[in-house]
Amino acid sequence: MERLSVREVSERIDTLLDELGNGAPAPVMERVEELVQCVLALYGEGLGRILGSVDDATVRRLADDEVVGNLLVLHDLHPDDVDTRVQQALERVRPYLGSHAGGVSLSGVDERGVVHLRLEGSCDGCPSSALTVRSAIEDAILVAAPDVVAVEAEGMVEGSVEAGPALLQIEPFRAHAEPDRSGWEHLDLDVPPRTTAAVDVAGHAVLVANLDGTLVAYLDRCPACGAALSAGSLAGDRLTCPARHEYDVRLAGRALVPGGEHLTPLPLLPERGAWKVSLPATAPGGVVA
């Protein structure tokens, strides 16, 4: 069964309301908006009564569920404030950021609902790593804190073509934005320590490496020769493709020869006992952008 996403459903509701607003008479739209508000109020009252009839441990289990937690946020019933939820989201992505030689700290959430972060460290000369770090942070915060309106992060990535203090400008609820052709896919993984596994994810060949308990993911393709990385070997943090090109898979797939191309890292995050990986955007025709 397809997993339910509160964010996707909310965006679909907004889209439908916009479409109605463009064609329906004003009195009809007023009735539609009143109907939506009545339904939300009814669900909010019901959720409030449920929480009031269960113990604190049950409230916590409900709040930790992605779908129920999002609904509790929507109705201002979540037991954690936005600062706490953002901090929890960052804890989830810190192991992943460590594989990119970086870290992140929360400076605060202002009265507008804008999260201010500070990125520390970088993957030297790896713009693709910066993009995957952005994707991981964005998704984690959106899941834990859908009431956030934007995320701003300071900290430069060495080798990035951008300049200035701002690395990330994330706007979770971008109105009428162009659809992103990248997306998160859920998967089950069983990769023993110090080994790799080739996984097909929605038609993409993905390599997952277990670095003594830390899982990292890359496109299963050597940028130097095009060979499948899964046909190579892993020794410590060093991944060697069949043609003997070598990469550091702990440091975002950095080539171990000067001037060599990096691997393409993919965000890989734990989720309720399983994993999810963010695939790269694809151009029309299925070509990786």
Kindly indicate the confidence band of residue 235, based on its pLDDT and cuts at 50, 70 and 90: very high
Cα-flanking dihedrals φ and ψ of residue 36, to 5°?
-60, -45
d(CA 149, CA 167): 17
Same domain, 198 and 271: yes
Query: Within 13 Å, how many C-alpha atoms sit on residue 155's CB side?
Result: 20
Chain Cα centroid distance, residue 64: 17
Q: What is the model's pTM?
A: 0.56
Please report the sign of the dihedral spanned by the C-alpha atoms of residue 96, residue 100, residue 101, residue 107: negative
The answer to the question of residue 175 being in a domain is no
Count of structural domains within the chain? 3
Would you state the structure tokens that stand for residue 12, as one six-digit string?
């679909």
Looking at the fold, whether 195 and 263 belong to one and the same domain comes out as yes
State how beta strands 287-288 and 282-283 pair. Answer: antiparallel
pLDDT in tens, 239-248: 999 999 999 9
Are 202 and 117 found together in one domain? no
Whether residue 134 is found in the same domain as residue 189: no
Residues 143 and 113 in one domain: yes
214 and 191 in contact (C-beta within 8 Å)?
no
**Helix, strand, or coil (residue 9):** helix
Q: Do the beta carbons of residue 144 and residue 172 sit within 8 Å?
A: no
Domain shared by 164 and 189, yes or no: no
**Residue numbers of the domain that contains 123:** 82-170
Domain end residue (candidates: 121, 141, 170): 170
Does 263 lie in the same domain as 189? yes
Please indicate, yes or no, whether residues 219 and 251 belong to a single structural domain of this protein: yes
Residue at 249 is within a domain: yes
- For a pLDDT cut of 70, what percent of the chain falls above it? 76
Q: Which of 6-15, 40-49, 99-108, 159-168 has the lowest mean pLDDT?
A: 159-168
pLDDT tens digits, 257-272: 888 888 888 888 777 6
Cα dihedral value 277, 219, 130, 3, nearest 10: -20
Q: In angstroms, rounded to a whole number, what is the distance separating the alpha carbons of residues 267 and 132?
A: 6
CATH of the domain at 105: 3.30.300.130
- Tell me: do 149 and 219 sit in the same domain: no
Determine, yes or no, domain membership for 178.
Answer: no
Q: Are residues 70 and 91 in the same domain?
A: no
DSSP 223-273: TTT---GGGSEEETTEEE-TT--EEETTTTTEESSTTPPPP-EE-EEEETT
Q: Which of 252, 250, 164, 256 is nearest to 241 (CA)?
A: 256
Segment 102-122 mean pLDDT: 79
